[in-house]
Amino acid sequence: MNLLNKFKDPELCLNILDQIKSEIQGEFRFMEVCGTHTVAIFQSGIRTLLPESIIHVSGPGCPVCVTHDREIASYLALAEKDLILATFGDLIKVPGPGGKNLKAAQAEGARIKIVYSAFDALKLALDHPQDKVVFLGVGFETTAPTVAATIKMAAEQGVRNFSVLSFHKLVPPALKALAADRDIQVDGLLLPGHVSTIIGLEPYRFLAEEYQVPSVIGGFEPLDILQAILIMIKQKNKGRPEVVNNYKRVVPDQGNAKAIETMYEVFRPADALWRGLGIIPGSGLAVAQRYEQFDAALVFDQELPQVDEIPGCKCGEVLKGLISPDQCPLFSTRCTPANPVGPCMVSTEGSCAAYHKYRL
Amino acid sequence: MPERIILDYGSGGKASQRLIKNLFMKHFANPGLNRMDDAALILDLQGPLSMSTDTFTVDPVFFPGGDIGSLAVHGTVNDVAMLGAVPKYISCAFILEEGLVMDDLERIVQSMARASSHAGVQIITGDTKVVPRGAVDKIFINTTGIGLVVADPAPSGHRAEPGDAILISGSMGDHGLAILSHRQGIAFETDVLSDSQALNHLILRLIREVGDIHVLRDPTRGGLATTLNEIAQQSDLEFIIDQELIPIKEAVEGGCSFLGLDPLYLANEGKFICILPESLATKALDIMRNDPAGQDAAFIGRVAEGRNGKVVLKTALGGHRLLDMLEGEQLPRIC
Ligand code: SF4
């Protein structure tokens, strides 16, 4: 059995599940921060196997879902200019205010190119020297360092037709905002695996120390998730909340110093607008002055337009774990993957999409 | 300089004649086509017929395990066969982009000739158009196929019954991943090959030797998940699929997890779903596994009454979830 299969092994998983059942006392509400976890929990069927007293809520951890309407409106406006907009595939269907998305913009003639990495976007710029190429920088700490490295490379090579519209967001400040919100009661946080590979364990310490929330960095295989749940329950029972790295095979406690260094060389912390959570100070990354010729917001004089909220959409409450997706009045009726009203229904990692797609 | 397709080749004049004679007739030669009339005369087909048409556009045109030419033959041959039919004749129409390299076209035509001879079908009529550069992407091919239905009654998506077994003829996702990974220039250590192949011979054996096949369907675009949903809806029954029993190659699994794709939604071009009474399942599987086109055939689930029109997946852990249809294209993820 290869290593990964071991983390899927039904017998090992059922064993942990038994331990969870014997440990649980009363109700336990846990939130997973990361959309990949949301999907993994549904895909593996874990949700249907957990005891009913374990309440699972999805958090804000899908970069597409937390992209604010004003940011979407901004990149849609940018796409109409004379340039090539390079983006990850996830964003292509996300509806902006008025329901328009990049797919529709493309059909109307906007030049949009799906890429798999920021480097591909830079390559696109090198291959099309006559065109301006803008990379749409949406993502957390997982993606921001490679985007930063790409900007550095563009600077070193003296590339003039490449820039990045940075809507990157940082996870710990958002967790702080959630933990500080008295309406949001969770007994445990399943911390994101991918983001943690970059930032390590340290930035989460405040969760246990200041807010007494048991928190576990977990992988995405069923065994990883079940183990994380068990650890959180045990911590709660003991009344000794900690931040635990249970994904050591991928996540070093100290994170990836080189990646962080590159990230903060090219970007600087800035206030950012989160869907559902509003403005969170220091939770975004803007292009640093030294690299400002690669800042699409400056190059194209791009501001965040004011927009009306989408009527009826409860994405904000879903992202905060205040309601489950099926409690949104539009869920699976007016809002479906074919006709999404909010990004939580579009993104492959969105909780509304996961509910719609997997829930029996 | 390689010779390229120019607009003259679609003119209908001498240049077109040359292209037809030196390329298509050379490779496709058969009595029906050789007559060179406006239409093909078919004398030997009587009784219920199965007919299907499909247009093929694929990027890249040559991919690991096949090319647009073989794909255009296999795709239509398989569709005709899924009605429980023996495919006999196909037509093919080309839309060529000005500038297409002649050698590439010849490779494609040769590949079509090989694929049709292997499938035992004849290309008996066709058409060629050349359009200005940029109007199409290199080459589009339409094929229409016709065949003789030999299963009685013909299999249909409506005919699934509670208690039926659901079989698939091999591993899922090979074609889709082969195309996607090469389109994006991501080659994996173990190269994934497209499964593009003709299924008609194997299907004929199943019809003759097993009989009473309720449903045959090839899970092409949208993959296994979408196709199962279509059939579940057509027959208004619940399908319960056991995830662990679905064969997926390790390289496909690995590539998919890297790109954030689900192999159950990836296209297959050489596999089929077969639904039949459970008592016949073992026999059908034996026949499939003894055929080069069905070596990895597997029993993957059952038809039941319950959540009608829905497909439920029993996961490896024993949990359950919905296996929904694919909505639009599958796109790789951000993180
Ligand atoms: S169901 Fe749709 S409208 Fe409701 S919260 Fe989710 S994405 Fe927003």
B195, B271 Cβ separation under 8 angstroms: yes
Distance of CA A222 to the CA centre of its chain: 20
| Calpha distance A318→B46 (Å, rounded) | 61
Nearest to B319 among A47, A143, A357 (CB): A47
Q: A138 and chain B: CB distance < 8 Å anywhere?
A: yes
Q: What is the mean pLDDT of residues B147-173?
A: 97
The pLDDT value recorded for residue B334 is 45
Nearest to B334 among A88, A336, A338 (CB): A88
Nearest to A63 among B259, B322, B334 (CB): B334
A315, A277 Cβ separation under 8 angstroms: no
Q: Specify the ligand 1 atom closest to the Cα of A332.
A: 1
> For the segment A191-228, what is each residue's pLDDT rounded down to a tens digit?
999 899 999 999 999 999 999 999 999 999 999 999 99
| Calpha distance A79→A94 (Å, rounded) | 14
SS3 annotation, A86-121: EECHHHHHCCCHHHCCHHHHHHCCCEEEECCCHHHH
Which one of A65, A94, A318, A334 would you pick to mutate in the ligand 1 pocket, going by the greatest count of ligand atoms within 8 A of its CB? A318
Rg of the Cα atoms in chain B: 21
Mean pLDDT estimate for chain B? 93
HSE-up (13 A, CA, CB side) for residue A329: 4
- The torsion angle over the Cα atoms of residues A162, A165, A171 and A176, rounded to 10 degrees, is 140
CA pseudo-torsion sign A79, A83, A87, A93: positive
> For the segment B277-313, what is each residue's pLDDT rounded down to a tens digit?
999 999 999 999 999 999 999 999 999 998 999 999 9
Residues of chain A positioned with their CB less than 8 A from the CB of B184? 116
The pLDDT value recorded for residue B331 is 62
| Calpha distance B148→A347 (Å, rounded) | 45
Q: Per mean pLDDT, which range of A266-270, B121-125, B325-329 is the poorest?
A: B325-329
Residues 6+ apart with CB under 8 A from A153: A119, A122
Q: Percent of chain A scored above 90 by pLDDT?
A: 74
A49, A98 Cβ separation under 8 angstroms: no
Could you give the ipTM of this predicted complex? 0.74
Q: How far is the CA of A182 from the centre of ligand 1 (A)?
A: 23
> For the segment A156-195, what is each residue's pLDDT rounded down to a tens digit?
999 999 999 999 999 999 999 999 988 888 999 999 998 9
DSSP secondary structure letters along A140-192: -TTTHHHHHHHHHHHHHTT--SEEEEE--B-HHHHHHHHHH-TT---SEEEE-
Q: Specify the ligand 1 atom closest to the Cα of A351.
A: 6
Supply angle C-alpha A40, A41, A42, rounded to 5. 90
The pLDDT value recorded for residue A89 is 86
B108, B74 Cβ separation under 8 angstroms: no
Q: What is the mean pLDDT of residues B7-13?
A: 85
Q: Per mean pLDDT, which range of A167-176, A240-249, A315-324 is the poorest?
A: A315-324
Q: B261 and chain A: CB distance < 8 Å anywhere?
A: no
Q: What is the mean pLDDT of residues A97-110?
A: 91
Q: Per mean pLDDT, which range of A63-67, A204-208, B111-115, B231-235 is the poorest?
A: A63-67
- How far is the CA of B5 from the CAs of B2, B25, B68, B98, B104, in angstroms? 10, 17, 17, 5, 10
Quickly tell me which residue has 């398989």 as its tokens: B78
The pLDDT value recorded for residue B264 is 95
Which one of A309, A324, A349, A352 would you pick to mutate in the ligand 1 pocket, going by the greatest count of ligand atoms within 8 A of its CB? A352
Other C-beta atoms lying within 10 Å of the C-beta of residue B95: 20
Q: What is the mean pLDDT of residues B219-238?
A: 96
Question: Is the C-beta atom of A356 inside 6 A of ligand 1?
Answer: no
Lookup: tokens for A157: 């090579």
Q: Is A360 helix (H, G, I), strand (E, B) or coil?
A: coil
Most confident of A270-274, A310-314, A320-324, A344-348: A270-274
Lookup: tokens for B199: 């299924």
Q: Specify the ligand 1 atom closest to the Cα of A352.
A: 6
| Calpha distance A247→A192 (Å, rounded) | 10
Lookup: tokens for A176: 């702080």
The pLDDT value recorded for residue A62 is 85
Q: What is the mean pLDDT of residues B63-90?
A: 97
List B95's β-bridge partners, or say none.
B129, B140
Question: Is the C-beta atom of A341 inside 6 A of ligand 1?
Answer: yes
Asked if the model's pLDDT at residue B214 lies above 90, the reply is yes
- The torsion angle over the Cα atoms of residues B68, B74, B76 and B79, rounded to 10 degrees, is -140
A262, A153 Cβ separation under 8 angstroms: no
Distance of CA B204 to the CA centre of its chain: 16
- The torsion angle over the Cα atoms of residues A156, A159, A165 and A167, rounded to 10 degrees, is -20
Residues of chain A positioned with their CB less than 8 A from the CB of B334? 63-64, 88, 90, 138-139, 142-143
Q: Do A116 and B321 touch (CB under 8 A)?
A: no
Lookup: tokens for A302: 């791009």
Q: Do B321 and A359 touch (CB under 8 A)?
A: yes
Distance of CA A302 to the CA centre of its chain: 23
A118, A154 Cβ separation under 8 angstroms: no
The pLDDT value recorded for residue A85 is 98
